[in-house]
């Protein structure tokens, strides 16, 4: 097979410019906010991996069980002899591997494309998978899947775009609609979309996942302030911010925040701005929406997809939806 193809849609200068814009806009807004994606630098990704191992955090285990148990059914439901898989936010491409193996085991894995903002991680995954799947075409996309879906490879017959891990729930309602419209525009009729989504359940179960006893979620949430200290020469005192996770039953959404425990004035030297906090003032650091199955299927239908199957774990905590572009 040829050497893996790499499509570079952004580089470190793009990421730095985006960081500066996001932080300036977010911390000068009322209320203050920071985008969820800022949490995931090197240590942030390590903390998130630790979080997924906590007993309260059901999401990763539940989705992994679905993909492990149903990979063969998902592969068969695609109904194609050759399938090219593109994984958005692939990271180490661990979530998708049961499906890749199911397709490869029956000779139907035509290609795999991890899509992620971290170029080093994309390169590492391609190197590793070149041994695991020697007969598949391998390529990678370094980009932001909210901006660069037009760069999806189009020279494969049947494409499956996978978006796993419940990340879809971190979008606002408007962002979800825009993402789905952009994805549908990038696909051809007959292409596939595999979506992992967190389903509505007992709020106590949901809240426990964001308030684990070991405090890993709290450390992960506060880590965004360390990111700003490191990358923007800020002087946040992360330990003086309290981790808050609130459940909104009307919108079926977890709202994560950092609450100032004392008055503070923070200098962000790289942006040449100061940001003041009063006691109890909050930074909104992310949301995680939970979905009713029918509600999500209707949303997919409204943006040009027809849901053909949905698999859940035995408790019905997570859902993996397979939809076809129409």
pLDDT tens column, 277-298: 999 999 999 999 999 999 999 9
Asked if the model's pLDDT at residue 8 lies above 80, the reply is yes
Residue 2 pLDDT grade (very low, low, confident, very high; cuts 50, 70, 90): low
CA–CA dist 156, 84 (Å, integer): 6
pLDDT for 192: 98
In the block, residue with structure tokens 């525009």: 185
CA angle (99, 104, 106) in 5-degree steps: 105
pLDDT band at 58 (very low <50, low <70, confident <90, very high): very high
Residues 303, 25: Cα–Cα separation, whole Å:
29
Of 132, 141, 124, 63, the residue nearest 100 (C-alpha) = 132
C-beta of residue 80 within 8 angstroms of C-beta of residue 108: yes
**Position 1 pLDDT exceeds 70:** no
pLDDT at 250: 96
| pLDDT at residue 212 greater than cutoff 80 | yes
The predicted pLDDT at position 279 comes to 98
Could you read off the pLDDT of 127-139 as tens digits, one per residue? Answer: 999 999 999 999 9
Q: Which residue has the higher pLDDT, 42 or 84?
A: 84
The Cα–Cα gap between 96 and 133 comes to 13
Looking at residue 75, its pLDDT comes to: 97
* Interval 264-275: pLDDT, tens: 999 999 999 999
219-237 pLDDT, tens per residue? Answer: 999 999 999 999 999 999 9
Give the chain's mean pLDDT. Answer: 96
Q: Which pLDDT score, from 0 to 100, does residue 107 have?
A: 96
- Looking at the whole model, is its pTM more than 0.85? yes
| Residue 41 scores a pLDDT above 90 | no
Poorest-pLDDT segment among 32-46, 122-136, 202-216: 32-46
Confidence of residue 3 (pLDDT cuts 50, 70, 90): confident
| Mean local confidence (pLDDT), 143-168 | 94
Own/partner contacts of 27-31, CB < 8 Å, gap of 24 or more, are: 27/268, 27/273, 27/275, 27/283, 28/273, 28/275, 31/282, 31/283, 31/284
- Segment 259-263 shows an average pLDDT of 98
Q: DSSP 3-state assignment of 82?
A: coil
d(CA 120, CA 112): 17
Average pLDDT over residues 58-81: 96
Share of the chain above pLDDT 90, in %: 93
């Amino acid at each position: 097979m040829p050497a893996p193809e790499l499509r570079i849609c952004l580089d470190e200068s793009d990421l730095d410019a985006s960081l500066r814009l996001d932080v300036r806009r977010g911390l000068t807004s009322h209320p203050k906010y920071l985008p969820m994606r800022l949490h995931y630098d090197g240590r942030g990704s390590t903390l998130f991996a630790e979080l997924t191992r906590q007993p309260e955090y059901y999401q990763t285990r539940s989705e992994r069980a679905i993909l492990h148990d149903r990979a063969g059914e998902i592969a068969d439901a695609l109904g194609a002899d050759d399938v090219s898989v593109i994984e958005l936010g692939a990271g180490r491409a661990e979530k998708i591997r049961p499906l890749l193996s199911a397709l490869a085991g029956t000779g139907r894995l035509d290609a795999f494309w991890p899509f992620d903002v971290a170029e080093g991680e994309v390169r590492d995954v391609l190197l590793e998978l070149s041994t695991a799947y020697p007969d598949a075409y391998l390529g990678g996309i370094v980009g932001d899947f909210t901006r660069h879906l037009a760069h999806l490879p189009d020279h494969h017959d049947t494409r499956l775009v996978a978006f796993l891990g419940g990340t879809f729930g971190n979008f606002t309602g408007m962002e979800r609609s825009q993402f789905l419209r952009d994805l549908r525009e990038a696909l051809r009729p007959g292409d596939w979309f595999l979506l992992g989504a967190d389903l509505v359940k007992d709020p106590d179960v949901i809240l426990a996942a964001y308030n684990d006893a070991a405090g890993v979620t709290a450390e992960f949430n506060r880590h965004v302030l360390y990111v700003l200290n490191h990358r923007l020469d800020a002087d946040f005192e992360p330990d003086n911010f309290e981790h808050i996770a609130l459940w909104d039953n009307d919108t079926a959404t977890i709202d994560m925040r950092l609450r100032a425990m004392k008055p503070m004035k923070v200098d962000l030297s790289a942006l040449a701005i100061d940001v003041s906090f009063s006691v109890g003032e909050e930074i909104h650091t992310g949301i995680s929406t939970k979905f009713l199955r029918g509600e999500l299927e209707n949303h997919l239908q409204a943006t040009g997809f027809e849901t053909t199957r949905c698999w859940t774990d035995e408790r019905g905590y997570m859902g993996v939806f397979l939809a076809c572009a129409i």
